Chains A and B, each alone.
Chain A
Amino acid sequence: MSVLTSTAAERRPARIDFSRPILYGFAAILIVLIVLPLSWLLLYSVTDRAGSLTVENFIRLFSESAFLDPLITTFIIATSSSFLCCAVAAPMGWLVARTDLPMSHVIRALVTASFVTPPFLGAIAWELLAAPNSGLLNKIYRVVTGAPQDEHLFNIYSLTGIIFVISCYTFPYVFVLVANALDRTPGELEDASSILGGKRWYTARRITIPLVLPALIAGALIAFLQAMTLFGSPAILALPAGFHTMTTKIWSLFQYPPKPELAAAASLPLLVLTIILLRAEHMILGRRGYSVVGGKYGTPRLIPLGRGRWPAFALCILVLLNPVFLPYAALLNAAFAPVASHFLTFSTFTLHNIEFVLFELSATKLALRNTVILGTATATIGLLIALVIAYVTARKAVTGHRLLGFLATAPVAIPGIVLGVGLFLSYTRPPFVLYGTLWILLIAFLTISLPSAYQQLQAAFRNIHPELEDASRILGATRLQSLRQITAPLLRTSVIATWCFIFVGVMRELSAAIILFTSETKVISVLIYDLNESGDLGAISVIGIAMLLITFAVVIMVNRIPGFGVTSVRLRT
């Protein structure tokens, strides 16, 4: 069944002349984007205030409980979230991809919805739902059971609460990877097993699960990384409970009096761990190719669930209540209720919050403008960079293309808050004083979105077999002509999709922006965070709903493009 990927056509030598300048140009851009902030980070972590070399920062980091506790907490949160995500997402991915689950496209759409919901907004919505006393769910619980006022079912301000909320918005990563892998698993392999006498479970155990396992492990690692590097949710839920995670600790080191050298030192463990885990992911996923690449195979056999169809569907919806239905309902309730924790009734319905956000809040317009400018600019520039690099690497058009590919993927290893710290250190001093301008945010967002944009486009290029371009070339077209007439139309959907998802990713980015913004360069996510600190939940709900509406408009636009669905989405926080 398996066929080798590389063909002779892909290995042909480069023929274009301007390839070398392009390579060097783009390599230089990427090196500045990535290496500059990381160098400053490293330098700061090993110097003291006076600028002389020291390991004092690291000694403090690994000896003081003020740093060790958050490190341990972060590890617990990341590990538990990762397990929880896998436990929920793997069965769901299987149900959606390999069974005759009813309305599986609805489930996929809802997973996309949880995917694009900013995690910090989800965390605030869950405050409204499950704060021990004022949470709507706890209120319902007390009304139903008649429990006394000080009893509660859920307490979101707790370690378990944080793990739960983080998992709500991280499980889609695992789901997408698992569902993707299952979508791609050739049905013939399972057929062969059945024909040779394998029972259903035997086939699952010996064929399906081994084929999906790498994707699941990769998903677990990605979930771990997400949970580890998230800033918004722990800042919103852990601080009220009285503990720090690494990201909130790093951020607190930036508060007055700022201690950038400690912040830099505290960033490094996150960076190192991320790199190690991504190497591990690469090693595991790198072996995947043996079974599923190339060849023509039938669509996977759908397993009939029989009487379990609707219960299975109900189970999926039950899971999706948590990231989607309940939080959205809580935000809607808070947006129109006079007090965010009161249930909305016809008599209490108020437009006060909407009026406040639209007509009184003077930061709304500026933040919205900045977000749109940054989203558009990042999506456009990021797309162009990713497109060129993806083309060069996919067609192996230039010697040294591997380096470009590596550089374009490298930012994956830099957590947003670490990048924020690095960029802050790099661009607050001459010769590049970009702090206080939108440029520094643009650089941050570009760096953050480049890896996923590159991966999506590279996959798209790989799907277009070079023989089409070759045919065009043989018939007399130049390379640029064949690119324009053959490749570009075939790529159109992927290009639009990539643009949209960079845009959506910028809208929900908080962890780098929280370090880099100034009053003039505030973005929506930071505005929401600011409002959360002063407890203006009604205003947050209105802005959050507006943000979700914009996001959904973009996502729906993408999904209307034929041939593009949730499965090729990959976003970062």
Chain B
Amino acid sequence: MRKITLSRRDVLKGTSALAAGAAFSTHVMAAAPPASAITPALVEAAQKEGKVIWYTSVDLPLAEKVAKAFEAKFPGIAVRVERTGAERVFQRIGQEYASNIHAVDVANSSDAAHFIVWKKEGLLLPYVPEDVAQFYPAEHKDPDGHFASFRVWVCIIAYNTNLVKAADAPKSFADLLDPKWMGKIVKAHPSYSGTIMTATYQMQRDLGWGYFEKLALQKIMQVQSSADPPKRLALGERSVMADGNEYNIFQIKEKDGSVEPVYATEGSPLIVGPTGMFKAAPNPNAAKLFCNYSFTPECQQLIVDVGGLRSMHPRTKEKAGRKPWKDIKTMKDDPVAVEKMSEEIKTRYSKIFRV
């Protein structure tokens, strides 16, 4: 009952605000609420709540940096980062909601399919931050205002520059099947990582499961998070990663130059990580403020500069030395298909790789 009244009220508010602020935005979607700015009233209400709980799958140190930046800008609101793999985030939220525990305020997942499920289940609160309404391209925001692309990146191949010469480095996914990489590859897991779930979907669609079956014969080292293969490369534990976050590779490369990204000739799987807030958020105002902040040029530039991520906010600048986003050949993302196939992908993957 409560849920219905809430959304009705929102729709009402939406329509009246739409009339009032028609000049502000030219093409607000019919079902989406109007854009919300960071107002002093919102900040004050958020400060009263004093905290915001952010479930995310973004690499932990980066997540904490975003949290610290938010805390510095809005004193008195502590951000607690609940960071784990996107598939775990999804499972935790599901398990908590099934037990009527409403702990999450804002979620950010590297598996865009999760937002389709949450939206379908009516768990998300439509809320459109000003920047999203004004600047974000249509394909990077939900037409009904439930979520938008907080971060975008690709899942790539990379190698350790001390262990592999540039000339010997793989150029394509097919190259990884060369026997010379036997025992030298590290790879993350789609049952943990949303990045790898999304990537596995795109790769089995474009390259076929046969590719994975052959890759499994290479005695890969199986880790969980897509943030881990870059770290294993940095440790020198393996020479090449078959998949993992481009943004972690940038971070490490720019720190000590020990790794180098490879954009596979077949195309790199495109990963989109949306952010949205929950209707039953325990700190609704802080959640709105945090959502809103997430899409500001300030925060977006931070995740680009410090994090190595890509931003869909046109007011951000790409960092020099990184391959420009437009030059990257990506595979096509399809969260709707991922949602339908995720269970099959997990089962099939664990059959092929045995874990």
Complexed CA–CA distance, A335 and B200 (Å): 34
Complexed CA–CA distance, A29 and B76 (Å): 44
For B231, the chain A residues whose CB sits under 8 A away are 535-537
For B221, the chain A residues whose CB sits under 8 A away are 157, 240-241
Cβ of A340 within 8 Å of any chain B Cβ, yes or no, is yes
Could you tell me the distance in whole angstroms from the C-beta of A365 to the nearest C-beta in chain B? 9
Contact present for A435 and B353 (CB under 8 Å): no
For A360, the chain B residues whose CB sits under 8 A away are 61, 64-65, 68
For A537, the chain B residues whose CB sits under 8 A away are 231, 235
For B95, the chain A residues whose CB sits under 8 A away are 258, 518
Could you tell me the distance in whole angstroms from the C-beta of A529 to the nearest C-beta in chain B? 10
Contact present for A518 and B354 (CB under 8 Å): no
Could you tell me the distance in whole angstroms from the C-beta of A340 to the nearest C-beta in chain B? 6
Contact present for B224 and A239 (CB under 8 Å): yes
Contact present for A257 and B101 (CB under 8 Å): no
Give residues of chain B (220-241) contacting chain A, Cβ–Cβ below 8 Å.
Answer: 220-225, 227-228, 231-232, 234-238
Contact present for A519 and B223 (CB under 8 Å): no
Could you tell me the distance in whole angstroms from the C-beta of B348 to the nearest C-beta in chain A? 12
Contact present for A534 and B225 (CB under 8 Å): yes
Contact present for B234 and A519 (CB under 8 Å): no
Residues of B in contact (CB 8 Å), total 59
Cβ of B315 within 8 Å of any chain A Cβ, yes or no, is no
Cβ of A520 within 8 Å of any chain B Cβ, yes or no, is yes
Contact present for A362 and B237 (CB under 8 Å): no
Cβ of B177 within 8 Å of any chain A Cβ, yes or no, is no
Cβ of A134 within 8 Å of any chain B Cβ, yes or no, is yes
Which residue of B has the minimal Cβ distance to A248? B355
Contact present for B101 and A339 (CB under 8 Å): no
Contact status of A243 and B64, CB under 8 A, knowing A519-B104, A533-B84: no
For B224, the chain A residues whose CB sits under 8 A away are 239, 533-534
Complexed CA–CA distance, A141 and B149 (Å): 48
Contact present for B88 and A255 (CB under 8 Å): yes
Contact status of A361 and B64, CB under 8 A, knowing A133-B237, A255-B191, A339-B235: yes
Cβ of A491 within 8 Å of any chain B Cβ, yes or no, is no
Contact present for B354 and A363 (CB under 8 Å): no
Contact present for B234 and A518 (CB under 8 Å): no
A240, A341, A360 pick with most chain B CB within 10 angstroms = A240
Contact present for B225 and A255 (CB under 8 Å): no
A252, A356, A435, A533 pick with most chain B CB within 10 angstroms = A533
Other-chain residue from B67, B87, B101, B183 in contact with A362 (beta carbon distance below 8 A):
B67
Contact status of A255 and B91, CB under 8 A, knowing A131-B237, A133-B238: yes
For A242, the chain B residues whose CB sits under 8 A away are 219-220, 222, 353-355
Could you tell me the distance in whole angstroms from the C-beta of A134 to the nearest C-beta in chain B? 4
For A356, the chain B residues whose CB sits under 8 A away are 61, 64
Other-chain residue from A134, A150, A533 in contact with B184 (beta carbon distance below 8 A):
A150
For B88, the chain A residues whose CB sits under 8 A away are 255-256
Cβ of B335 within 8 Å of any chain A Cβ, yes or no, is no
B59, B95, B104, B191 pick with most chain A CB within 10 angstroms = B95
Contact present for A256 and B94 (CB under 8 Å): yes
Contact status of A534 and B90, CB under 8 A, knowing A131-B237, A362-B81, A519-B96: no
Complexed CA–CA distance, A129 and B3 (Å): 53
Contact present for A519 and B82 (CB under 8 Å): yes
Which residue of A has the minimal Cβ distance to B94? A256
For A362, the chain B residues whose CB sits under 8 A away are 64, 67, 78-81
For B256, the chain A residues whose CB sits under 8 A away are 338-339
Which residue of B has the minimal Cβ distance to A133? B237
Contact status of A520 and B103, CB under 8 A, knowing A239-B224, A243-B355, A341-B235: yes
Cβ of B85 within 8 Å of any chain A Cβ, yes or no, is yes
Cβ of A187 within 8 Å of any chain B Cβ, yes or no, is no
- Contact indicator per residue, chain B 325-355, by CB within 8 Å of chain A (1) or not (0): 0000000000000000001000000110111
Contact present for A134 and B85 (CB under 8 Å): no
Contact present for B81 and A363 (CB under 8 Å): yes
For A69, the chain B residues whose CB sits under 8 A away are 354
Other-chain residue from A134, A256, A366 in contact with B235 (beta carbon distance below 8 A):
A134
Which residue of A has the minimal Cβ distance to B78? A362
Could you tell me the distance in whole angstroms from the C-beta of A136 to the nearest C-beta in chain B? 11
For B237, the chain A residues whose CB sits under 8 A away are 131-134, 341
Complexed CA–CA distance, A281 and B163 (Å): 52
Contact present for B53 and A519 (CB under 8 Å): yes
For B343, the chain A residues whose CB sits under 8 A away are 257
For B191, the chain A residues whose CB sits under 8 A away are 252, 255-256
For B238, the chain A residues whose CB sits under 8 A away are 133
Which residue of B has the minimal Cβ distance to A539? B60
For A428, the chain B residues whose CB sits under 8 A away are 98-99
Contact present for A366 and B99 (CB under 8 Å): no
What are 26 inter-chain pairs, A to B, with CB distance below 8 A?
A133-B236, A133-B237, A133-B238, A149-B163, A150-B183, A239-B222, A239-B224, A240-B223, A242-B354, A243-B354, A252-B350, A255-B87, A256-B90, A339-B256, A340-B235, A341-B235, A341-B237, A360-B61, A363-B82, A435-B99, A436-B103, A519-B53, A534-B60, A535-B225, A535-B228, A537-B235
Sorted nearest first, the 6 A-B pairs with minimum C-beta distance are A535-B228, A256-B91, A436-B101, A535-B231, A134-B237, A341-B235
Q: Interface on B for A, CB 8 Å cutoff?
A: 53, 55, 59-61, 64-65, 67-68, 78-85, 87-88, 90-92, 94-96, 98-101, 103-104, 163, 183-184, 191-192, 219-225, 227-228, 231-232, 234-238, 256, 343, 350-351, 353-355
Given contacts A361-B60, A435-B101, A534-B60, 15 further A-B contacts (CB under 8 A): A150-B184, A241-B222, A242-B355, A243-B355, A252-B350, A256-B91, A256-B191, A360-B61, A360-B64, A362-B67, A435-B99, A436-B101, A518-B92, A531-B60, A536-B60
